[in-house]
Amino acid sequence: SLELSKKAAAVKPSSTLAITAKAKELKAQGKDVVGFGAGEPDFNTPENICEAAIKAIKDGFTKYTPASGTNELKAAISKKFKEFNGLDYDTDQIVISNGGKHSLTNIFTALINPGDEVIIPAPFWLSYPEIVKLAGGVPVIVTTTKEQNFKLTAEALAAAVTDKTKALVLNTPNNPTGMLYTEEELRAIAKVAVEKDFYVVADEMYEMLVYGEQKHISIASLGKDIYDRTITCSGLAKSYAMTGWRIGYTGSSKEIAKMMGSVQSHQTSNPNSIAQKAAVEALTGPQDSVKKMHAEFDKRRKYMYKRICDMDLLDALEPMGAFYVFVDGSAVLGKSYKGTKIESVPQMADILINEYNTAIVPCADFGFPDCFRLSYAISIEQIEKGLDRIESFIKELA
């Protein structure tokens, strides 16, 4: 038979989506499943945002818009960049896409020539290497350490740079670790990017979900040289409980924005017109529901982190952003469960789903095979129940 695309064949299916699907399937069979896999807020999209979408439909705002998004939404995003991130992006530097994933696809399409390298610090969100490969690039994984709070250091970055390095992916707040980069760390990274001359893809999707004292900082806000080399990427999905609406956006140089707009104009045309109206309301309307969701996430975060710390064999760093706890399961490896030796985190995940109806996300596909991710984007009751089950499992180990 005729050979299919090597590039497409090299792409791995998303394992987080597979875990969510398995948990849903067991639920449909009537099992009392706790799913810690959720990569999305459990809240409904706030009412005012839904109303804006309904109004858009009734007003007939149901036609094509400009390919890179409406001027109205670009102006709202420009204002948000200014006020929230301290970043100046004019409307012609902004491209609105069908979700953050699509924005990232546009970015790498605009940056990469065949064989260009993209540095990705591990642990990483599992889609980065796949999107880079699809764009013809070569992911270069730089593994961080727990001692460095799973954050990339300027030294490790500099050591990974070659003459093929085109870009670095910098994700803060981080999925899966929940870590935030400090201004000092970002300045050191920016210095390397400027000196060695490569782009920084700053994925700030979780920027509004930051807890405690530490503030979210956009690397592009730290000076003109780094601003010129950064493409800042964010979206509405996580902050406004709008995962299904599919709105993401970028701020970049005009040149890159123009290229991404042209690419998008042929591949998908504009993002959904109705969702764009909803996004305007999300960004410019009342923010009280964001505050409420944030407060609820923070409560769950504290509870989950404490429970994990109190458990034998499990260990985690306190997450400062997003809605995940990144758990080190290495002390479980080598223990026995009912006579069977546990050799890997995926094996532990199988036991948890099959015997305890509890779904966790093993992080091999996030570049950290001995760790797993627990999402706290589920109710506190569910979190409590699921952690009780994990604790029972841990107590069974010999």
By CB under 6 A, name the binding residues for ligand PLP: 39, 99-101, 125, 171, 175, 203, 205, 235, 237, 243, 248
Q: Which is nearer to ligand PLP, 231 or 332 (CB)?
A: 231
CA–CA gap between residue 67 and residue 3 (Å, rounded): 34
Which token pair is 377?
Answer: 């984007």
CA–CA gap between residue 49 and residue 42 (Å, rounded): 16
Specify the pairing of strand 371-375 against strand 324-328. antiparallel
Q: Which is nearer to ligand PLP, 80 or 307 (CB)?
A: 80
Q: Which is nearer to ligand PLP, 85 or 171 (CB)?
A: 171
Smallest separation (angstroms) from ligand PLP to the CB of 179: 12
Q: Where are the beta strands (DSSP E) in 115-253?
A: 117-122, 138-143, 165-171, 199-203, 230-235, 248-251
Q: Which is nearer to ligand PLP, 101 or 151 (CB)?
A: 101
The three-state secondary structure class of 10 is coil
Smallest separation (angstroms) from ligand PLP to the CB of 298: 19
Smallest separation (angstroms) from ligand PLP to the CB of 351: 26
CA–CA gap between residue 265 and residue 68 (Å, rounded): 7
Distances (CA, A) of 359 to 24, 27, 61, 386: 10, 11, 41, 9
Specify the pairing of strand 315-316 against strand 324-328. antiparallel
Smallest separation (angstroms) from ligand PLP to the CB of 245: 9
Which residues are CB-contacts of 300 (< 8 A; sequence separation ≥ 6)?
323, 376, 380, 383
Q: Which is nearer to ligand PLP, 105 or 382 (CB)?
A: 105
Q: Which is nearer to ligand PLP, 117 or 203 (CB)?
A: 203
Smallest separation (angstroms) from ligand PLP to the CB of 102: 7
Smallest separation (angstroms) from ligand PLP to the CB of 39: 4
